[in-house]
Amino acid sequence: MSTDPHTTDPRAFGRVAVLMGGTSSEREVSLDSGRNCLEALRRRGVDAQAIDGIPALVREIVAKRIDRVFNILHGHHGGGEDGILQGLLEAFGVPYTGSDVLGSALSMDKIRTKQVWLSLGLPTPRYVRLERNDDVAKAAASLGLPVIVKPACEGSSVGVSRVFSEADLPGAVALAARYEGDLLMEQMIVGEEYTVGILGETALPTIRIVPAGEYYDYHAKYVAEDTQYICPGLTGAAEEEMRDLALEAFQSAGCSGWGRVDVMRDRSGRNFLLEVNTAPGMTSHSLVPKAARVFGIEFDDLVWRVLETSLTRGGSRP
């Protein structure tokens, strides 16, 4: 049973900044998500305003025009998912939605998240951490082709390649290396892709993702209209098992409030954790709203409930 606080009074939130945009590689997705959340909150009577990026937010906080932050920034380096924003808001005593400093910073780094999961015996694909001058052919041989090559600290499928032959490795590494931080080479799980939304202490119904193309890339996520989303993606014990695993993975990474856990299920029915998203998309193509709707929560109510999770952080403005 959820212990999250609830309110029916929009005045309980005070003046809310819907923080969107920023300077990360996921800026455009964040702007789309932010506009949707802003409109939903205003429809429910919340005193909400759009704020684009962290510097603008700081100016509003210093001027004492903001009481609470609905964080819908995506990514890092000017995004709001890497712990920097969370530390800043805690220093100012401003409550906010989503995971705290630890959960945000840890889950943004896919390699360190996998290390935590493996230490707890949770299933995740085998991987190799790549530095810029490593022997990528040797790394691929140790995992066995096919593999996935991606930046360790990006989201929205940015910089991700599927590699089926050694000849394709240099191009995949070059693409991932456009982004800062470590590179991750991961065993490619052949099977079906799922995602599980988390709201408070509840795992929402699974979604099975069926792209029209070969895999669920940036285009399939945010542009294509022919990607299929089957929710719930599983039935019976298999559905319960994946939802339980996703919630455990989310909490073990220090995450809280709301988020999304991506999972692969191989052809023998084994689940493999991929990553956690601590500020998932809220666009027309996004998955948490789809799962919430099946669970009986329409979009405006979902946004309200996400904002309610910030009530666990009372804040104390200096």
Q: Which sequence positions are flagged as catalytic?
A: 26, 156, 222, 260, 262, 275, 277, 281
- Helix, strand or coil, per DSSP, at residue 163: strand
- Helix, strand or coil, per DSSP, at residue 37: helix
User: 16: which 2 tokens?
Assistant: 């809310």
Quote the CA–CA distance of 67 and 49 in Å, as a whole number: 11
Residue 264's nearest CA partner among 183, 179, 164, 146 is 146
Q: What percent helix, strand, coil does the chain show, rounded to 5?
A: 40, 20, 40
Quote the CA–CA distance of 196 and 206 in Å, as a whole number: 5
What is the number of other CB atoms lying within 10 angstroms of the CB of residue 91? 9
- Helix, strand or coil, per DSSP, at residue 16: strand
Contact 81, 108 (CB under 8 A): yes
Side chain identity, residue 105 = A
Side chain identity, residue 300 = D
Quote the CA–CA distance of 208 and 200 in Å, as a whole number: 22
Contact 103, 255 (CB under 8 A): yes
Distance of CA 170 to the CA centre of its chain: 28
Contact 257, 200 (CB under 8 A): yes
